[in-house]
A = this chain, B = another copy of it.
Amino acid sequence: MVGASGYTGEELVRLLLAHPHVDLVAVTSRQFSGQPLPHVFPRFAHLEKAKELTFSDADPTQLARGTEIVFLALPHGRAAEFAKPLLHAGARVVDLSADFRINKAAIYREFYGTDHPAPDLLGKAVYGLPEIYRDQIRDAKFVACPGCYPTSILIPLRPLLRRKAIDRRRILIASLSGVTGAGRKLEADYLFAECNESIRPYGIPKHRHLSEIEQELSILAGEKMVIQFTPHLVPVNRGIVTTIYTDIAGDVVAMDPALVYGGAYGQEPFVRLLGEEHLPNTKNVVGTNFIDIAWKIDNRTRRLIVMTALDNIIKGASGQAVQCLNLMCGFPEIAGLL
> What is the total number of copies of this protein in its complex?
4
CA distance A239 to B195 in the complex (A): 13
A161 at the interface (CB under 8 A from B): no
Contacts of A251 in B (CB 8 A): none
Interface residues of A in 152-179 (CB under 8 A from B): 172, 174, 176, 178-179
Contact B204 A192 (CB under 8 A): no
Contact B186 A186 (CB under 8 A): yes
Interface-forming stretch among A58-66, A139-147, A284-292? Answer: A284-292
A280 at the interface (CB under 8 A from B): yes
Interface-forming stretch among A86-94, A101-109, A230-238, A259-267? Answer: A230-238
A4-47 toward B: CB 8 Å interface, digit per residue (1/0)? Answer: 00010000000000000000000000000000000000110110
Contacts of A176 in B (CB 8 A): 176, 199, 232, 234
Q: With A46-B290, A180-B193 as given contacts, are A243 and B198 in contact (CB-CB < 8 Å)?
A: no
Q: With A199-B241, A205-B300, A296-B204 as given contacts, are A281 and B230 in contact (CB-CB < 8 Å)?
A: no
A202-234 toward B: CB 8 Å interface, digit per residue (1/0)? Answer: 101110000000000000000000111010101
Which A residues lie at the B interface, using CB under 8 A?
7, 42-43, 45-46, 172, 174, 176, 178-180, 184-188, 190-202, 204-206, 226-228, 230, 232, 234-241, 243, 245, 269, 272, 274, 278-288, 290, 292, 296-298, 300-301, 303, 305, 307, 309, 338
Q: List 14 A-B contacts (CB under 8 A).
A: A42-B292, A174-B174, A178-B193, A184-B191, A185-B191, A190-B191, A192-B194, A192-B237, A197-B237, A197-B282, A200-B282, A205-B296, A228-B245, A234-B236
